Structure 1
Amino acid sequence: MSESKQREGFIPAGLVVQSLRGVVEGSLHIAGDVEQAALQAEHICLTESGTLKDGQIEAQSVMIDGYVTGVTFTTPRLTAGANARISDCVIEMGSPTGCAIHEDASFEGDVRISVSRKGGGQQRPDTQREGQTVVAHDEAHLVIPGDDEPDPHWAAKTPDISEAEQDAEIPLGG
């Protein structure tokens, strides 16, 4: 095998693999069923017929077009295709711009997507101004109002619902 050829792994449809652990040099395409995975790879592709249940996946890019449940993904790039069904997963990303979700993708249960900027731009120490905290960052300066200042984005006229005159009647079906 030549050095220039991309190494790839493949789990075919119909194959059930339990407790899949290891490091994959290159890509891993999953068309079968994988349970309890602990994988590191450059690229993970879960096809429409593939399922991935319980585990931790760390990859440079993840493409989901099958069913995933109970998995924690750590990746800078995640794509959820039209047939993706993602349930009770955690997706840890390095950038908010690395996520593409097709409008027909399905999310169920507790799916959490978090962004951490490990290795991101250099951060400078926080500074204090009168009643505010300024968080300095190479790309942005965020001003966080102090507790005693009104939020300028909050609507000026917020209805007072503390003294409702009557209860709402909501039909519950029957």
Structure 2
Amino acid sequence: MSDSKQQDGFIPNGLVVENLCGTLDGTLRIAGEVEHVELQGGQLCITDTGVMKDGRVEAESVIIDGHVSSVTFTTPRLSAGAGARISDCVIEMGNPTGCAIHEDASFEGDVRISVSRRSGAGAAGETPRASIPAGDDEPDPHWPTQTPDISEANQDADIPLGG
């Protein structure tokens, strides 16, 4: 085996692992059950028989085809397959285009998906935040005072539909 090949890990169906902590260099496939996880790096695949409960995962790519609950995922790419059952999880993504969710995937309980774009603004590792003053009743000078009435617009759009 070449030294440049990344190592893959596998937790087989029927095996229960508690307190899985570490750094992924390659791909970890979970077909068994993992409780209390703290992982970083690489790619994580939870197969259709895989179960992951409670913890935090920071990975380059996460593929879910099994059941996950009470896990926080931080990843630029997440895929939830048809058999995915995701419950009470937080999914933090850097880009909304890196998320693929099959129409038969199931979300239960409190599942939050957030997108945070990290740029050069602010200190390293600091997430930019908006400041919204509470109780500000002053009208915004940049917002028009009256909204134009477009209910009786008399222009038709010429939109080709192909064919």
Q: Residues 47, 148 of structure 1: CA spacing in aligned structure 2 closer, same or farther, 3 A cutoff?
A: same
- Determine whether 1:10 maps to 2:1: no
Q: CA deviation at 1:4?
A: 2.9
Q: CA deviation at 1:3?
A: 1.8
TM-score by length of structure 1 reads 0.70
Q: Superposed, which structure 2 residues align to 1:33-112 within 5 Å?
A: 33-112=33-112
Q: Which structure carries more relative contact order (alpha carbon 8 Å, separation 6+)? A: 2
Q: Residues 80, 2 of structure 1: CA spacing in aligned structure 2 closer, same or farther, 3 A cutoff?
A: same
Q: Residues 150, 98 of structure 1: CA spacing in aligned structure 2 closer, same or farther, 3 A cutoff?
A: same
Contact 1:28 1:41 in 2 (8 A): no
Aligned residues: 135
More strand by share: 1
Aligned-residue sequence identity (percent) comes to 63
- Determine whether 1:24 maps to 2:24: yes
Q: Distance in 1 between matches of 2:140 and 2:51?
A: 48
Contact 1:90 1:111 in 2 (8 A): yes
Q: Distance in 1 between matches of 2:17 and 2:44?
A: 16
Q: CA deviation at 1:27?
A: 0.7
Q: Secondary structure at the match of 1:20?
A: strand
Q: Superposed, which structure 2 residues align to 1:121-140 within 5 Å?
A: none
TM-score by length of structure 2 reads 0.74
Structure 1: gaps (5+ residues) = 124-144, 158-174
Q: Residues 10, 151 of structure 1: CA spacing in aligned structure 2 closer, same or farther, 3 A cutoff?
A: farther
Q: Which amino acid aligns with 2:111?
A: V
Q: Distance in 2 between matches of 1:85 and 1:70?
A: 12
Q: Distance in 1 between matches of 2:102 and 2:42?
A: 22
Q: Residues 18, 103 of structure 1: CA spacing in aligned structure 2 closer, same or farther, 3 A cutoff?
A: same
Output the aligned Cα RMSD. 2.7
